[in-house]
Structure 1
Amino acid sequence: MRQEVRVSQARARETRARKAAAAATAEVDPVARVLVDAPLAHLDRDFDYSVPASMSEAARPGVRVKVRFAGHEADGYVLERTASSAHGGTLTPLRRVVGAEPVLSPVVAGLAAEVAERYAGTRADVLRLAVPPRHAAAEKQPTVPAAEPARWDAQAAAAAWADHDTGEAFLRHLREGGAPRAAWHPAPGTDWPRSLAHAAAATLAGGRGSLLCVPDGRDVARVSAALEDVLGPGHHVALTAEAGPAARYRDFLAVSRGVRRVVVGTRAAALAPVHDLGLVAVWDDGDDLLAEPRAPYPHAREVLLLRAAREGTAALVGGFGATAEAAYLLRTGWARPLRATRATVRDRVRVEVAGATDLARERDPHGRGARVPAAAHAVLRAGLEQGPVLVQTPRRGYAAALACDRCRTPCRCPRCTGPLALVGPLEPPVCRWCATPAQAWTCPECGGHGLRAPVVGDVRTAEELGRAFPRARVRTSAGDRVLAHVDATPQVVVATPGAEPVAEGGYAAVLLLDAWLLLDRVDLRAEEEALRRWSNAVALARPGARAVVVADPAHPAVQALVRWDQPGHAEREVDQRREAHLPPSSRLASLTAEPGALDDALTLLAPPGSAEVLGPAPVADGRERVVVRVPRGEGVALSRALGELQRVRSARKLDPVRVQVDPPTL
């Protein structure tokens, strides 16, 4: 009994000591303005807490803290310390400081607020993308500076950009501390990772940092290797989720501490806290991997453009394809063109359409209906004599769709009416919906049993090419079997778009199959996306190689590929979208929810007077979607109205509504 009393008394003394310590606030700036990690939109604001005297030194702006919020312990960031608070009552003290590392810089905090407003989201959601989870062991380790100063080879940089009309001037502005803004369109075969590395080196030589965003981990690896070769080891970091929590946090701290000022990474790296930022660059900005799939769904290109405007940095939007957004930057004068010379383009790769000439049609009269016409076979055969050849096909698998070989009726599963497909040469047809085998399929229209494959995947394509070129090695790159590199030996590489490996020395020939599959997609960006994927494949060819596309030679996207005039096609897209009141000439938002929740949202929404409401239209799972569009000048007002809608709905605890501002696709 006495022992229990002593324990109770000790606990009481500890409680009184903690209360006394909490009551003693810091003498200087005793108020901490905290951004609480709260997912609710109506709580997306700063809250004032008192700073205990014991935390006066540790509770610096940018550090993580634990606070009492709504009856629970919550995470937060200290935004600033002030001498007083507008709150009239007693302030709740900070519970504790989680590490003494200031991980949220004022620049990133301001950027997060602007991104949240732009996309009608919350700062907490944006900061989850900006600041990786804490790793205590990595935080205790110091960041070691590079052993040698960063290299700067002006002659090598000039040689890397010599094929561009204004490349030398662009590098000079970066070196002298200027802020040039350019839409970059290189020639096929350009070593774009090395060009980016030299641009970052020029910026670093001028005393400023660089931030380079690319679509995926393979691109990060290529740019990282180029940066190490150009700058020397230890002068940059690569930020990717695949690095693991410890390595990612360690690299993040190297940037946050200012030891590393050159960053390359995927879309989340657009929010990296680079010190003295002088250049932001995004490569292949039309790739959908640069669009964040989580709320508030920001696009890396738009985040970087916001940073360039906020911090007065140089900006570089590049790619072998050209997006309508990049063309709009040129049209408005925000950016200047940075393109390869026409002489360089003519010398690099010759792109032709299979069977487009009268002579080709005379030699192969049935080539227009063939999937791989004779002209394409001839190009591959000639290419295999010199090195590897690349064949791009849009579909994965063996045979993604089947039809009756007599009446062309699509094959359907007798159990669930789903589409049938072949997964291999010796396997029976299988339903793509319910996975039920159709051992003895019979056509309901003509009673036939034969099958044909109108849509062929990469595996079947590799099988056919293996029979056509029996002495050549045939490899596939698609899905979870993506090759990063192939050597210079003669071989056939069959790849889906985005999975094309880099060949040592470049490909001797490139063949683009099934162009109609990419062009027939029901999507606003179908032509732009098809041209981008074709251009990325052709760009992997070596100088002097031939590229063949099996497509309608009169299609505008095909003509743009043949002329290597992707910016011209993008200008045409801007004109068409302006007539249709679509982005980038207009600002657009989509609201998706259950019918009742969507009606409530439209009732509460107060958009600008010029807004047009389109819909509702049914989407998957019984939900509906409404599209709201306004002129581009009213985009800020629309974002603010959507943000207020989210706050009102959150405060009233109404059913959720998915809000996307300028979605990449509808």
Structure 2
Amino acid sequence: MTSDSPEQLTLLRDTVRRSRTKEPAPITETLPVARVAVDVSLPHLDRPFDYLVPEDMTAAAQPGARVKVRFAGKDHDGFVLERLEASDHDGKLVRLRKVVSPERVLTPEIADLCRAVADRYAGVFADVTRLAVPPRHAKVEGEPLRCDQPAPPPVSTSRSEWSPYPTGFLDAVSRGEGPRAVWTAVPGADWTLAFAQAAAVCAATGRGALLLAPDARDLERLAAACRAVLGENGFVTLSADLGPTARYRAFLAAARGSARVVIGTRAAAFAPVADLGLVAMWDDGDESYAEPRAPYPHAREVLLLRAFRQECAALLGGFARSAEAAALLESGFAHELIADRKAIRAAAPSVHIAGESDIDLARDPAARAARLPHRAFEIAREGLRSGPVLVQVPRAGYLPSLVCQTCRAPSRCSTCGGTLRRTGGSGPASCSVCGRPAADHRCPECGDTRMRAAIIGARRTAEELGRAFPGVVVRTSGSDNMLDVVPDAPALVVSTPGAEPVAEAGYSAALLLDTWLMLARPDLRAPEEAVRRWFNAAALVRAGGPVILVGDPSALPLQAIVRWSPEGYAAREIEERRTARLAPAAKLAELTGPSESVNDLVTRLRDLVPPSAGLEVLGPVDVDDETVRAVVRTPRAHGTTLVRALKDAQSARTTKKNPGTVRVQVDPPSFG
């Protein structure tokens, strides 16, 4: 036996390797370059990159398709943005690794919107696309979804829900135009039916509509109205609460044009609605519309960007009016859609403040100090004769906060310093943070072992009302037990703000308790948020039904409810924010992170923003032992300059791999 020489072994190995290695497909001659948005969240790499398209991928690698590419030595996901004849890159291009799915999930309109949102919030395109396009489910893509465009739904000649308002908005939508309006609904209006009717008018023109609701409960009500107006197959529901598979199925149905109308919560703001003609949002001041993930966009701003870029109609509706909506009216971007005062007075409840008159004080000297003054009991007793009575309490739980009986010092846990509370009528107090019982608690200030309630929660309120009104049904609605609807029967419905169920025939009366607590929240938006909550609760009461606010009669937020003037309060709020240089009258951003990182970013901003832009830096202040927060702001006219400088400063930091991550949030929804 003779052994092969080294040269022969090398030749044999090369022959075997060539026989096992598949020759790569040639590069396609038709639009051989794919411009890809690579899923990389580094600010200095926030731009598309060009790749060559092999011949065997050219049919699938179309704009909007998911692909795999080689980037910085690793495989990354990406989306094809466009196909080109040539690249402007001077170096050598590499091939696409794989077409993950030929499904075109990132349409050109949504890609353009994602870029605009990233620029608006000093964010990265890849972060926005994660919000816009849900994760892929291959099984769903293989399902036989109907992709034909349904016929326009019939439009009823009766527009009962829109009859109290000027007809100009819907008339413009029916002509295919793009009006923008801030709609202040009359008390008791069925906004879900009004939205469905507006969507039907838009769909009848052959264009699509996108309707947003604040939460799952409101979305279910909106879906019921859309089924009644548009039919079972006339719309599709898109919400994160559906679960990953069902959400992707609904997303593909919208992308393939199975329905002209898409409804949903915040997750649907980027829904790929074909030929969009109307975007609408109910109660835009609701905090659930603020995205908690980078770059933290607000659904209202996403819809307004879509309306502007796609020249479609926009509608912001609510019983209250946010400061941002007031700013839109002031700037001329939108017009006001509101009923005349006569119609509002006819539909509004009768609102009073406990102790507002001398007669009230003569009957009950403690009317302004008592948590449940005598007049509130009278209104509740009278209301129970004809239907349910709503009782709104700002805090959930039983006794969520305790203080010392003698010196009123806050009672805190000796282990972790958390606030002590009671979760029921028996048993010792416990810590709201670590849960430890505090049976041997002693006040560190005066030594007293006794405690009293600083705040009374909804469950304790329900218990007290049950004793005060024996034989009356008492229902509670809150985060742990949310009611959707209550029957038209005598009952006391104790609810936390935002959890109020709808009464079948409207509430006969409402008691809004502890108004001081909602106004005392450590947030500069607390008065606006409180007014919004009170308007929403009072609007559930029948026309002319009594509503009593327990609080300071001189407080302007309470007076706005008495006058039923959401537009007046919003105008005053925007004026105060202009004086204080707060959003939306000014452009501001909140920077949160390690002290050195925040200071470094602020220093870079000072160099990038010209003096004429009027940059102002507030802070930084300590958030905890390791984190600080600074606020930077400029006049609204220089907002684009500030946002661009934030992006450039972040890019410079990531390019140099500076340690520490700074969380940048432009126009944060809350600011305390």
User: TM-score normalized by structure 2?
Assistant: 0.94
Aligned match for 1:651, one of 636, 645, 655? 655
Is 1:354 the counterpart of 2:358? The answer is no
Relative to structure 1, the CA distance from residue 535 to residue 14 in structure 2 (aligned partners, 3 Å threshold; closer, same or farther) is farther
Could you report, residue by residue, the CA deviation over 1:110-162 in whole angstroms, capped at 9, with x for unpaired residues?
110111011011011000010011111111123326897443334332x1111
Alignment map for 1:171-320 (pairs within 5 Å): 171-320=170-319
Is the contact made by 1:392 and 1:496 (CA closer than 8 Å) also made in structure 2? Answer: yes
For 2:299 and 2:20, the matched residues in 1 are separated by 49
One-letter code of the match for 1:639? V
Alignment map for 1:588-607 (pairs within 5 Å): 588-605=588-605, 606-607=608-609
Alignment map for 1:72-91 (pairs within 5 Å): 72-91=74-93
Relative to structure 1, the CA distance from residue 261 to residue 404 in structure 2 (aligned partners, 3 Å threshold; closer, same or farther) is same
Could you report, residue by residue, the CA deviation over 1:342-393 in whole angstroms, capped at 9, with x for unpaired residues?
2222222111112212222111122222101111111111111111111110
Could you report, residue by residue, the CA deviation over 1:426-481 in whole angstroms, capped at 9, with x for unpaired residues?
12111223323222434455554433212000110010011011111111111221
Partner of 2:522: 522
For 1:565 and 1:505, the matched residues in 2 are separated by 24
Alignment map for 1:381-400 (pairs within 5 Å): 381-400=381-400
For 1:101 and 1:447, the matched residues in 2 are separated by 69
For 1:119 and 1:52, the matched residues in 2 are separated by 36
Is the contact made by 1:150 and 1:232 (CA closer than 8 Å) also made in structure 2? Answer: no
Relative to structure 1, the CA distance from residue 275 to residue 593 in structure 2 (aligned partners, 3 Å threshold; closer, same or farther) is same
Is the contact made by 1:590 and 1:663 (CA closer than 8 Å) also made in structure 2? Answer: yes
Partner SS for 2:646: helix
Is the contact made by 1:285 and 1:318 (CA closer than 8 Å) also made in structure 2? Answer: yes
Alignment map for 1:149-188 (pairs within 5 Å): 149-157=151-159, 159-164=160-165, 166=166, 168-188=167-187
Structure 2 spans left out of the alignment, 5+ residues: 1-9
Q: Higher mean Cα deviation, 625-634 or 81-90?
A: 81-90
Deviation (angstroms), 1:625:
1.5
Partner of 1:16: 21
For 1:135 and 1:14, the matched residues in 2 are separated by 36
One-letter code of the match for 2:425? P
Partner SS for 1:645: helix
Aligned match for 1:102, one of 98, 101, 104? 104
Is 1:374 the counterpart of 2:351? The answer is no
Partner of 2:667: 662
Partner of 1:135: 137
For 1:246 and 1:434, the matched residues in 2 are separated by 37
One-letter code of the match for 1:476? T
Could you report, residue by residue, the CA deviation over 1:190-212 in whole angstroms, capped at 9, with x for unpaired residues?
10111111111111112211111
Is the contact made by 1:146 and 1:235 (CA closer than 8 Å) also made in structure 2? Answer: no
For 2:19 and 2:593, the matched residues in 1 are separated by 51
Deviation (angstroms), 1:327:
0.6
Partner SS for 1:80: strand
Partner SS for 2:250: helix
Aligned match for 1:641, one of 637, 642, 645? 645
Partner SS for 1:367: coil
Partner of 1:570: 570
Task: Give the alignment's Cα RMSD to 1 decimal.
Answer: 1.9
Is the contact made by 2:115 and 2:125 (CA closer than 8 Å) also made in structure 1? Answer: yes
Partner SS for 1:247: helix
For 2:279 and 2:31, the matched residues in 1 are separated by 36
Is the contact made by 1:608 and 1:634 (CA closer than 8 Å) also made in structure 2? Answer: no
Deviation (angstroms), 1:608:
3.6
Could you report, residue by residue, the CA deviation over 1:157-190 in whole angstroms, capped at 9, with x for unpaired residues?
2x111122x1x22111111111111111111111
One-letter code of the match for 2:164? D
Relative to structure 1, the CA distance from residue 519 to residue 205 in structure 2 (aligned partners, 3 Å threshold; closer, same or farther) is same
For 1:10 and 1:535, the matched residues in 2 are separated by 81
One-letter code of the match for 1:356? E
Deviation (angstroms), 1:665:
1.6
Structure 1 spans left out of the alignment, 5+ residues: none
Is the contact made by 1:66 and 1:94 (CA closer than 8 Å) also made in structure 2? Answer: yes
Q: Higher mean Cα deviation, 170-179 or 619-628?
A: 619-628
Partner of 2:62: 60
Partner of 1:500: 500
One-letter code of the match for 1:612? E
Partner of 1:44: 46
For 1:637 and 1:442, the matched residues in 2 are separated by 55
Could you report, residue by residue, the CA deviation over 1:502-525 in whole angstroms, capped at 9, with x for unpaired residues?
121211111101000011112111
Relative to structure 1, the CA distance from residue 78 to residue 361 in structure 2 (aligned partners, 3 Å threshold; closer, same or farther) is same
For 1:611 and 1:222, the matched residues in 2 are separated by 45
One-letter code of the match for 1:644? D
Could you report, residue by residue, the CA deviation over 1:307-345 in whole angstroms, capped at 9, with x for unpaired residues?
111111111111111111111111111111111322222
Is the contact made by 2:149 and 2:258 (CA closer than 8 Å) also made in structure 1? Answer: no
For 1:617 and 1:632, the matched residues in 2 are separated by 24
One-letter code of the match for 1:248? R
For 1:572 and 1:521, the matched residues in 2 are separated by 20
For 2:121 and 2:445, the matched residues in 1 are separated by 51
Deviation (angstroms), 1:226:
0.7
Identity of aligned residues (%): 52
For 2:592 and 2:20, the matched residues in 1 are separated by 50
For 2:551 and 2:232, the matched residues in 1 are separated by 46
For 2:431 and 2:286, the matched residues in 1 are separated by 31
For 1:96 and 1:434, the matched residues in 2 are separated by 50
One-letter code of the match for 2:646? L
For 1:416 and 1:95, the matched residues in 2 are separated by 53
Could you report, residue by residue, the CA deviation over 1:579-599 in whole angstroms, capped at 9, with x for unpaired residues?
111111111111111111112
Is the contact made by 1:145 and 1:234 (CA closer than 8 Å) also made in structure 2? Answer: no
Partner of 1:328: 327
User: TM-score normalized by structure 1?
Assistant: 0.95
For 1:322 and 1:300, the matched residues in 2 are separated by 16
Q: How many residues align?
A: 655
